[in-house]
Structure 1
Amino acid sequence: MKIFRRFAWILWVLLGLAVGYLIPTLQRPPLLLQQDAVVSAVAPQTYTSTFNKDLGGYIDIQPKTEVKSLLIFYPGGLVRPQAYEWLGVALSPLGIRTIIPMFPFDLAVTDQNRAEKLLDAIKPEVPVLMGGHSLGGAMVSSFLADHPGKASGLILMAAYPPNGKDLSRQKLPVLTLAAEKDGLASMSDIDNSLKLLPPSTQKVVIEGSVHAFFGRYGPQQGDGLPTVSRDVAEQKILSAITAFVQQTLGN
């Protein structure tokens, strides 16, 4: 009887720990637009940012001028999509429309083919870029490995293709951004992944930056310590992406 009670107590403790771990994952924070997406160089009246509930839901950031290209961007794991709204706002002066899908439990692994559904619905008449941060970058890479020709360029942020997903033979311009102080996607991880990407892949190191500086969602457990401010890191990120887009699409 004592053994049974002890076993039951241990079981309840483990169950409590599991529930405590799972609740924050299952109950995601609310999606709030324009709460942390201000970019000082971009006037609010020059773009629109809306949430569309179709196709699982997505944030749609559009310049009010001519749309020259479309970017579909997958968020990092357990990161709310609005953490990357700043990126869409910052890219809008280039004529880029940015779509940031919302995934179940904020995990792109639950629907890595979402990009295809979005393309089928939107039917863009402009060049398409795809990108993602961390797990989102891995999943969008996996999608493009299985669906070559769906994008005119790929932007990876602290991310790389999963094992078995080889894009090295595709004629796909790729920009891979690595954070110098990243504690989650190390420089060696990024370097080792280059064999899975086209030989023309451009690697840019964001000096002093960390994994969490690619999105506006606060510090992340296991990450490194930055030696630059978030603002400086974001400027370097945008500079690298702007150069890549202009080189790739001529925007």
Structure 2
Amino acid sequence: MNRWIRVAAVVCILLLVVGAGGAFYFATPYHGSAASVQQVTDDPRVTVTVEDGVHVLSPRNADSTVGVVFYPGARVAPDAYYATFAPIVARTNVTVFVPSMPLNLALADVDAADRVRTRHPGIQTWVVGGHSLGGVAACQYAGSHDVRGLVLFASYCNEDVREESFAVLSVTGSADTVLNRENYRNARTRLPAKTTFHEIEGMNHTQFGSYSGQRGDSPAPLSYDEAHHRLADVLVPWLTNHSTVVAVSGSSG
């Protein structure tokens, strides 16, 4: 009997260690580089604030009529997307909201967009999006809520939204070796027929944000700045065509 008690105690200890290790792993996300964060906070066109764990990038000298709630990838902190969206905010006057997620997993809080929308009743047009696993969460949210559009960065839907009325933009990078290409190809049939697909040549998985070190990703021939510039050149006209956004003339990333 004592032997089985000792075995049970060892098993319990191992489970606690594994659980603690897993919690520590997911609780230590990839952050945006210090330079990328500083570049955005110094940008005179963009204001960065944090509201109850939601990171907000808004145009400094204009009011937004369009909001984008963006779900971060697994183990990726919201500040990793500052440099991604700052040029888009400057060029379109949208406001972008990137919520912090429990254990840095967007699937743990799929309805995060609800709280953002409740706090900002003045914004009438809403788009949701996400990067990698965050895109899966955004798709789940879009499939059961009234949104104007869905944006997927290196991601795909795990449920069928073919009959939904919202517009969809799916962007991938040719140098991305994290995205499961087979799953991505199979999931294309779950999207509306008018989905816009775009692949950015030379862009890898982490360049949808401004972080590095993700296992499985490959070096990219593009710089982060160039990758974000090309991404903005895809997203800005799509937002202009599928929302009430009016692109700001003369602005570039």
Alignment TM-score > 0.5, same fold: yes
Q: Deviations over 1:26-50 (max 9, x none)?
A: 543698997633558x962222101
Partner Cα separation in structure 1 for residue 202 and residue 14 of structure 2: 40
Residues 10-25 of structure 1: pairs in structure 2 closer than 5 A: 18=18, 21-25=21-25
Larger RCO, structures 1/2 (Cα 8 Å, 6+ apart): 2
Aligned partner of 1:118 in structure 2 is 116
Query: What letter is aligned with 2:199?
Result: V
Deviation at 1:245, TM superposition (A): 1.1
In structure 2, runs of 5+ residues without a counterpart are 247-253
Aligned partner of 1:52 in structure 2 is 51
Aligned partner of 1:233 in structure 2 is 227
In structure 1, runs of 5+ residues without a counterpart are none
Point out 4+ residue stretches in structure 1 off by more than 6 angstroms. 6-10, 30-34
Deviation at 1:12, TM superposition (A): 9.3
Partner Cα separation in structure 2 for residue 21 and residue 100 of structure 1: 26
Residues 172-251 of structure 1: pairs in structure 2 closer than 5 A: 172-249=166-243, 250-251=245-246
Deviation at 1:186, TM superposition (A): 3.5
Check 1:192–1:26 CA distance in 2 against 1; reply closer, same or farther (3 A cut).
closer
Aligned partner of 1:136 in structure 2 is 134
Structure 2 counterpart of 1:89, from 86, 91, 103 = 86
Query: What letter is aligned with 2:69?
Result: I
Check 1:28–1:186 CA distance in 2 against 1; reply closer, same or farther (3 A cut).
closer
Contact 2:73 2:130 in 1 (8 A): yes
Partner Cα separation in structure 1 for residue 222 and residue 88 of structure 2: 22
Check 1:35–1:43 CA distance in 2 against 1; reply closer, same or farther (3 A cut).
closer
Check 1:77–1:31 CA distance in 2 against 1; reply closer, same or farther (3 A cut).
closer
Aligned partner of 2:147 in structure 1 is 151
Partner Cα separation in structure 2 for residue 26 and residue 137 of structure 1: 18
Check 1:19–1:151 CA distance in 2 against 1; reply closer, same or farther (3 A cut).
closer
TM-score (norm 1): 0.83
Deviation at 1:70, TM superposition (A): 0.8
Identity of aligned residues (%): 24
Contact 2:32 2:210 in 1 (8 A): no
Partner Cα separation in structure 1 for residue 103 and residue 163 of structure 2: 33
Q: Secondary structure at the match of 1:177?
A: strand
Contact 1:133 1:157 in 2 (8 A): yes
Q: Secondary structure at the match of 1:194?
A: helix
Contact 1:39 1:90 in 2 (8 A): no
Give RMSD over aligned pairs: 3.1
Q: Secondary structure at the match of 1:125?
A: coil
Query: What letter is aligned with 1:89?
Result: A
Q: Deviations over 1:4-35 (max 9, x none)?
A: 8x979985995697267325335436989976
Partner Cα separation in structure 2 for residue 200 and residue 26 of structure 1: 36
TM-score (norm 2): 0.83
Pair 1:167-2:161 in alignment = yes
Partner Cα separation in structure 2 for residue 235 and residue 73 of structure 1: 18
Structure 2 counterpart of 1:107, from 105, 108, 111 = 105
Q: Secondary structure at the match of 1:37?
A: helix
Deviation at 1:110, TM superposition (A): 0.9
How many residue pairs get aligned? The number is 243
